[in-house]
Each structure stands twice: as structure tokens, then as C-alpha cells.
């Protein structure tokens, strides 16, 4: 599979500027899952800026956004 790094970077919502994984989504996901968290792209901009990328924060933000229980 070919990686489209430049196109991925254009859509990347990560605000951590020194991140070496920008545009390399498979590396980013693997990195965050090892830390038991999710990457920035699954969070709203407001939540992403908190750098709390935990599964619990994802569920809470999903419930707040949709009004649904996960």
C-alpha cells in the first residue's frame, strides 16, 4: 500500500508540532495505541488541544457530541 504523506499532512489535526509521525497515519495509530490512547484525528479541535487522547476522553466527547451512550 502506498502512503500519501503530503495529502495526509494536509488533513492531520494534530497540534503537536514536533511530531515525527505527521502524515504517517499507520505509524501514528500504532504509537498512540501502544500508549492506550487514540490519535488527534478522532477528536474535535477543542478536545485535541487538551492532549488528553485517552479512550475515556474519546467516549465522553462522543457522548457529549451525540447525546448517545457508547
What confidence tens digit (pLDDT) does each residue in 21-58 have?
A: 999 999 999 999 999 999 999 999 999 999 999 999 99
Q: Which of 33, 52, 34 is nearest to 44 (CA)?
A: 52
Residue 63 has pLDDT above 70, yes or no: yes
- Tell me the HSE value of 60 on the side-chain side, using a 13 A CA sphere: 7
CB atoms within 10 A of CB 39: 20
Q: From CA 38, how far away is CA 62, in angstroms rounded?
A: 13
Whether the predicted model's global pTM rises above the 0.85 cut: no
Amino acid at each position: 500500500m502506498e502512503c500519501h504523506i503530503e495529502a495526509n499532512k494536509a488533513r492531520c489535526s494534530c497540534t503537536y508540532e514536533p511530531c515525527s509521525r505527521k502524515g504517517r497515519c499507520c505509524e501514528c495509530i500504532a504509537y498512540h495505541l501502544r500508549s492506550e490512547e487514540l490519535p488527534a484525528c478522532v477528536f474535535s479541535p477543542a478536545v485535541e488541544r487538551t492532549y488528553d487522547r485517552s479512550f475515556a476522553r474519546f467516549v465522553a466527547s462522543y457522548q457529549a457530541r451525540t447525546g448517545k451512550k457508547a
